[in-house]
Structure 1
Amino acid sequence: MDLVTQHLVQPDDLNYHNNLFGGKMLSWIDEGMAMFAMMKIQYTNIVTVSMDNVVFRSPARAGDIIQIYGKIIKTGKSSVTVKTLAITNNPQTGKLGEVIESEISYVCLDERGKPYFHFRNFKIPVK
């Protein structure tokens, strides 16, 4: 998996129990993975269709660095699905922990907002 983005957990990102708010994590993942998909498929007019198999494994705390990894796992006629994994990296202790795992599907749209069959003639570049 490729490192997609990183975020430092700040006090404003925490819920009442001093854990990273789940909605904040999902926002970071959706934004980071959308940019990752755009770069990989060389097309920018995409929208999130679904976040599936979202599994929160452990909490993150203030001062943790969230590292979000991803890879493309599937394409359809107009859709791309990415697998994502987010881990915590505590810079003081070096301790790593898996926070969340999920799959996200995006759909390519044309200028009218309708599905665009981008993958009809496009091959995803292999590293």
Structure 2
Amino acid sequence: MRFHTRKWVKPEDLNPNGTLFGGRLLAWIDEEAALYAVIQLENNKVVTKYMSEINFMSSAKTGDIIEIGIEVVKFGKTSVVLNCEVRNKMTRETIITVDNLVLVNLDENGKPKPHGKTKVEYVKNRLT
């Protein structure tokens, strides 16, 4: 799994228990998945359709640095299926896993549009 993003847990990211608020973490995951899908599908009109069951395994506190990893499970006709792992760089523990995030490629009218992708492409390969 490639870890693309790091976040620094700040006081405003905490729940009343003093640990990372799950809703904040899910928002970060959703944003990272969308950015990844936009780059892979080469279209800024991508939406999250589905997020599978999530499994919180540990947490983070103020000052911890977390990493968000995204990996392609498969490409559909109009979608891409990703999985995600978030880990705490300080404790080296996995915080959460999400097995399936489905993002859909849209046309200019907001309707699903075939993207024609079948494998992960890296930016360096597209720019040459």
**Equivalent AA in structure 2 for residue 124 of structure 1:** K
Task: Select 1:123's aligned residue among 95, 105, 118.
Answer: 118
Query: By how many angstroms is 1:124 displaced?
Result: 2.6
Preserved contact between residue 72 and residue 120 of structure 2 (Cα < 8 Å) = no
Identity, % of aligned positions = 36
> Please, what TM-score do these two structures have when normalized by structure 2?
0.88
Preserved contact between residue 87 and residue 100 of structure 1 (Cα < 8 Å) = yes
1:67-78 alignment runs, 5 A limit: 67-78=67-78
What is the distance in 2 between the residues matched to 1:29 and 1:96?
A: 18
Count, aligned residues:
121
Partner SS, residue 12 of structure 2: helix
> Please, what TM-score do these two structures have when normalized by structure 1?
0.89
**Equivalent AA in structure 1 for residue 71 of structure 2:** K
RMSD in angstroms over aligned alpha carbons? 1.3
Partner SS, residue 96 of structure 1: coil
- Unaligned ranges ≥5, structure 2: 123-128
Question: Which aligned segments of 4 or more residues in structure 1 are displaced greater than 3 angstroms?
Answer: none
